[in-house]
Amino acid sequence: MKLKENMQCPICANGILKKEQKKHEVQYKDKKTIIDNLDVLVCTTCHDGFYTKKSERKINIVFADMKRKEENLLTSKEIKEIRKQNYLTQEELSVLLGMSLKTIARYENGTIIQGRSTDILLRLLRDYPATIKFLKNYSSLLDTSLLIENKL
Ligand SMILES: [Zn+2]
């Protein structure tokens, strides 16, 4: 069930959920980051709080990027920049790398964290533009229509 402002509280079924902005601390190992002004839906009666989908996404991105920094992996923003710098859509990049569109989208929105080998590959794209040219030639030899259609 998607919780929204002014809905009945799913816990006590008495109060109404009102949107408040709260500080939220995200922790990874010994590192902490404070997110200011995170939307939380708070019940007027039992005062239980719920994150909105948007807040959950934000927490995920912050957490994923903390982990990436700690593990020396590219951040979601850096991944997006590499793609934009090469004038590629998410779909085009997914074809070039032989990955699903969903995977690329998830790297960029923080839902999943790229593995080390993907990270190395992305760094090659960033630092050696000729890699893109190679991949464009290479992927033109493959039947990538399946990859796109199935959105694997
Ligand atoms: Zn309640």
Residue 19 neighbours by CB distance under 10 Å: 12
What's the CATH fold of domain 76-150?
Answer: 434 Repressor (Amino-terminal Domain) (1.10.260)
Higher pLDDT, 151 or 97: 97
Residue 150 has pLDDT above 60, yes or no: no
Measured in Å, residue 43 CA sits from the centre of ligand 1 at 5
User: What is the crossing angle of helices 53-70 and 76-85, to 10°?
Assistant: 90
pLDDT of residue 140: 77
Q: From the DSSP assignment, how many helices (H) and strands (E) are in the chain?
A: 7, 3
Would you list the domain boundaries of the chain? 17-59, 76-150
- Assign 120 a pLDDT band (cuts: 50, 70, 90): very high
Measured in Å, residue 32 CA sits from the centre of ligand 1 at 30
Residue type, 130: A
pTM to 2 decimal places: 0.72
Higher pLDDT, 139 or 39: 39
C-alpha to C-alpha distance for 140 and 60, rounded to whole angstroms: 35
pLDDT of residue 15: 96
- Assign 42 a pLDDT band (cuts: 50, 70, 90): very high
Measured in Å, residue 111 CA sits from the centre of ligand 1 at 29
